[in-house]
Amino acid sequence: MNSSPRRVPRAGNSEHGSVEPGAESHITGASSGIGRALAVEYARRGAVLGLIARRVDVLEKLAAALPARSYSYQADVRDAAALAHPARDFISRAGCPDIVIANAGVSAGTLTPEVDDNKVFEEILATNLTGMMLTFQPFIEAMRARRQGVLVGIASVAGFRGLPGVAAYSASKAGAISYLESLRVELSGSGVSVVTLCPGYIATKLTAKNPYSMPFLMKADVAAGKMALAIAARKRFYVLPWQMALVGWMLRCLPRPLYDLLFAYAPQKPR
């Protein structure tokens, strides 16, 4: 999707809370799920928002309801040119954002023997991994010049080990975790922080399709509040909820033979 970005300024309202100075935020995938919850959370805190999504009609309705000044842009995170213009426009109107959140993501069941899944596999990797890099790219030099800013990537507990039936999603989130670590080290000493967020199961339209139990399922608005606190604290790596942090640690510690035995017949996401 190569659509032209659109902007819709909204009036601010200081009665809905405060946020630390210079808390302009740029969020991709803001029309639904975690991205929408983060937009609502940062609007409540009084941030100036740059919101990006493919569904601009949904995005504009959200922007109209937010108690903060916001700019809405239609763009696909797989398209570098489509992301560059919103970045320039937002910087010209609101200044370089203090926080850029690469949240846009897609999920679907995939199986390697199924040739029909090839395009789905490519889309998941392009959106969840390459799209994260393309989201950050237009802002890094401006943040370096200011020696200030936070780049936030939404990864997942699913990136800790390869889960059956969601190879593309697990690979994209594992790649995101490694990419964000590389970026954090590259930007060391620059004044720019990199925060990796790894949620477990969050109640969104994506997880609503899962035909299996989801332990420690967390509401999106609760998750957004916890993420905002982790971002403000400049945490390098944050897993939520805390129970999933424990589960994730245990998964990573499992020897491969035992992991294979336990997950060989685990329920899989439908294709």
CA distance 258 to 245: 20
From 78, 71, 72, select the one nearest 95 (Cα to Cα): 71
Structure tokens at 177: 């975790």
CA distance 19 to 68: 12
In degrees and rounded to multiples of 5, residue 43 shows phi and psi of: -65, -40
Where are the alpha helices (H) located in the chain, listed in sequence order? 33-44, 56-65, 80-94, 118-125, 131-146, 167-186, 205-208, 220-232, 242-253, 256-263
| Catalytic (active site) residue 238 | no
In degrees and rounded to multiples of 5, residue 228 shows phi and psi of: -60, -40
Structure tokens at 30: 């803001």
Q: Taking a C-beta distance cutoff of 8 angstroms, is the pair 206, 109 a contact?
A: no
Task: Please list the residues that pair with 238 across neighbouring strands.
Answer: 197
Catalytic position from the list 42, 71, 73, 169: 169
Q: Taking a C-beta distance cutoff of 8 angstroms, is the pair 166, 124 a contact?
A: no
Active site residues: 169
